[in-house]
Structure 1
Amino acid sequence: MTTPGALDGFRVLELGTLIAGPYCGRLLGDMGADVIKIEAPNRPDPLRDWGQAEGGNQYFWSVHARNKRCVSIDLRVEAGRALFLELVATADVVVESFRPGTLERWRIGYDVLADLNPRLVLARVSGYGQTGPYAERPGYASVAEGISGLRHLNGFPGQAPPRMALSIGDSLAGLFAYQGVLAALLARERTGCGQVVDTALTEAALAVQESTIPDFHKTGHVRQPSGTRLDGIAPSNLYRSRDQLWVIIAANQDTVFRRLAAAMGRAELADDPRYATHTARGTHQDELDAMIGEWAAGLRAAELTELLNRHGVVTGPVNTVAEVMTDPHFLARGLFVEHVDPSIDEGEEGFDPIPPQGVGVVPRLSATRGGVRWGGASRPGTHTDEVLGELGYADDDLAVLRAAGTIG
């Protein structure tokens, strides 16, 4: 059972496909907003076919389309645009992730939308942003991570920079777009007017890179990939235990390093000039890693983490998803929740009596937490009649629109 969300009463129209824009829409829906995902008839979001599938259920889709009502409207035809504008008049937010200029070509740019609904917030998510020499280029997360410098920082020195097994650039852009929407809605309370939130995948990937820009600008330092650790931050690495499991030990703060030294039975290390301060430990990082690695290799992972936790040292395992889903802490927090597909009825082919689980709503709000009300509908257009019915369209009207191909 879900609780009311902080965005209950807000309506969001989501356009676009794949991950970045829809992730922003998902986060708004998690907080209670009525998110209406608009897909073109016969051209649904390709994300519906991504990832693992079973019995007609696409699990990637069920997570990113959760809490959304799926409507099929062709925005490329005049009748479809008219339907969309009727929905815009009722909306607080539109999220789109097309290449810049697409809405303008369809004659539904922000000038048109704001004239109809001055309080509307338009979140535009694209590869390079709405302006600049690269604006019209198509953009994917992989390229955004590369051009922003984020990919360069990943991996080991001298090796090809790998990507994480996630579209992290998309997720970062979705998060920044979500943040921008919330800020714009808050500003609207003061001004009474909406605005455009311009989010670029490239800029989202750049914005999380700590001090790389001022470091280079003022000193010429180019941060390099550093494998399993951060250069100059020591000790903070992963070490292999006696039973061949990886354990992360992070004790780069002076007080925590003192506790690590005590746990190792080497309390004198905390007063050794080579290791007593943050800067000194960074200088002698290789020595520390070798010393800690040798010590950790003498203990089983469970023994190692128990000892370190008892001494107040920051530590933890490197879990697979199988271990994550049985972790007692995550289970106690109720982090995994069911994603029920509203478009499949019990007894129907493809019905699974055990719905897939996914991660619940993050962060947790104490009074208006929101929740996963349903998983993504596996059938495009599941809620078309419902949503247009709320605008006053009768069954006969819908039949005419459907016959014309305006709706799906």
Structure 2
Amino acid sequence: MLESAEQMSVDAGPLSGYRIIDLTSYVSGPFATMLLADQGAEVIKIEEPNTGDFLRYSGTSRENLAAPFLTNNRNKLSVALDLKRPEALEVVYRLVETADVFVQNFRPGVADRLGVGEAVLRGKNKNLIYVSISGFGPSGPYAARRVYDSVVQSVGGIGHLQKGSRDRPELVRTVMADKVTAQYAAQGITAALLARERGKGGQHVEVPMLDATLAWIWPDGMTDLTFVGDENVVRAARVAELDLIFATQDGHIMVASVSDAEFVAFAEGLGQPELAQDGRFRTIQGRLTHWKALADIIRKELVKHKTDYWDARFAEADAVSAPVNSREQVVADPQVIESEILFEYQHSAAGTIRQPRHPIRFSATPADSARSEAPVLGEHTKAILQALDLSDGEIEQITG
């Protein structure tokens, strides 16, 4: 059982002492604020009283608690407020007066209509870091569209990039654009807080999902669009387009080589050292140009033995390889176990839960992924309102 909110201690984390008001839902915002909560920030999640965050009910669930919500909202406090009611909106204003960061991921214009736009909240707290996460930013032909991860993957070229040798584009089968945006948002928030510590004051931080996605895929996924004027030149296969997964006798293995020395090691592990002397494959450019021929050779050889056999051979040769784990195999992988990447805890409603630990390991100010479980909708409403010195009668008026 994790600590309750009243028992939570945020003294150790690098963001201890910072308060974040989180008016986000689904993934892009909650994932960002979860990272900051792991790092010690106090995150107060404001939700609609009757429904809450849609992610509460989305995906694999137990006891009406969805797995994605449990992971994206751990270490947070939940306050249920109907922002259409003036008295509830006033509570948000009072919380903002005490906050360092305010985060929202509405479509452009919605926050203003609700009364929580940047200009209004800046009037309540001039040093506030106000964060707007959106699909396409505040302007442009798509700005007002309803946006989910799949929309941004499609517009941003991810679907086409995933096509490879297949007949049609395919989306990445995880909400990549949402989570990439979340990571940029978390980094942007900490950078803005650092700038404020250095005397720059509060500011508005905008993180459009399309911007974040293009920035993330560009270095390797858009290489042939980097040199202006040469966009239509026929080039060798891009590294990002290579299919590096091959069938073995009992499964699949990933093999790769970037440097020429790595290819020599790979050829040795494959049992065909002469490949490293083949004029077509001696350089990285040659291997890219003649990738189809090389892949055919690899494919015919790897299917002769089991995955463990090949993985051991390539490891002995110091070549680049890895077994292609199923999701179930990931949990049991010896490296995952040795590194203690995953942990389990007893959730008060959902039973035993498995989640990944915070991926950043701080030597002096450790993050804590297990400080408190994801909250029940409105679990901390009364405690937070009492902390604002509101009477029981006032609280009843606000929440009733």
Q: So what's the TM-score if we normalise by structure 1?
A: 0.89
Give the structure 1 partner of residue 372 of structure 2: 374
Q: Classify the secondary structure of the residue corresponding to 2:332.
A: coil
Per the TM alignment, residue 77 of structure 1 is displaced from its structure 2 partner at its CA by 2.0
Say whether residues 1:288 and 2:285 are aligned partners: no
Give the structure 1 partner of residue 111 of structure 2: 103
Q: Say if 1:357 and 1:198 are closer, same or farther in 2 by CA, change over 3 A.
A: same
Is the Cα–Cα contact under 8 Å of residues 127 and 200 in structure 1 kept in the other structure?
yes
Give the structure 2 partner of residue 86 of structure 1: 94
Per the TM alignment, residue 198 of structure 1 is displaced from its structure 2 partner at its CA by 0.8
Is the Cα–Cα contact under 8 Å of residues 125 and 199 in structure 1 kept in the other structure?
yes
Matches within 5 A, 1:88-167: 88-157=96-165, 159-167=167-175
Q: Classify the secondary structure of the residue corresponding to 1:248.
A: strand
The CA distance in 1 between the partners of 2:92 and 2:263, in whole Å, is: 59
Q: So what's the TM-score if we normalise by structure 2?
A: 0.90
Q: Say if 1:360 and 1:40 are closer, same or farther in 2 by CA, change over 3 A.
A: same
Give the structure 2 partner of residue 196 of structure 1: 204
Per the TM alignment, residue 155 of structure 1 is displaced from its structure 2 partner at its CA by 2.6
Quick one: which of 227, 238, 253 aligns to 2:245?
238
Aligned partner letter, 2:60 = Q
The CA distance in 2 between the partners of 1:185 and 1:130, in whole Å, is: 23
Q: Classify the secondary structure of the residue corresponding to 1:111.
A: helix
Give every structure 1 segment of 4 or more consecutive aligned residues whose post-TM-superposition deviation is greater than 6 Å.
Answer: none
The CA distance in 2 between the partners of 1:87 and 1:33, in whole Å, is: 15
Give the structure 2 partner of residue 218 of structure 1: 229
Matches within 5 A, 1:326-345: 326-338=332-344, 340-341=346-347, 344=348
Is the Cα–Cα contact under 8 Å of residues 81 and 399 in structure 2 kept in the other structure?
no
Is the Cα–Cα contact under 8 Å of residues 342 and 356 in structure 2 kept in the other structure?
yes
Give the structure 1 partner of residue 5 of structure 2: none
Sequence identity, in percent? 30
Is the Cα–Cα contact under 8 Å of residues 249 and 315 in structure 1 kept in the other structure?
yes
The CA distance in 1 between the partners of 2:255 and 2:133, in whole Å, is: 38
Give aligned pairs, total: 387
Per the TM alignment, residue 178 of structure 1 is displaced from its structure 2 partner at its CA by 1.1
The CA distance in 2 between the partners of 1:44 and 1:251, in whole Å, is: 48
Long gaps (5+) in structure 1 = 345-350, 404-408
The CA distance in 2 between the partners of 1:46 and 1:340, in whole Å, is: 23
Long gaps (5+) in structure 2 = 3-8
Is the Cα–Cα contact under 8 Å of residues 66 and 339 in structure 1 kept in the other structure?
no
Q: C-alpha offsets along residues 8-45 of structure 1, whole Å, 9 cap, x if unaligned?
A: 11111110321111111111111111110000221311
Is the Cα–Cα contact under 8 Å of residues 63 and 339 in structure 1 kept in the other structure?
no
Q: Classify the secondary structure of the residue corresponding to 1:125.
A: strand
Give the structure 2 partner of residue 399 of structure 1: 396
Q: C-alpha offsets along residues 358-403 of structure 1, whole Å, 9 cap, x if unaligned?
A: 11101222222212212212x3100111112222223333223223
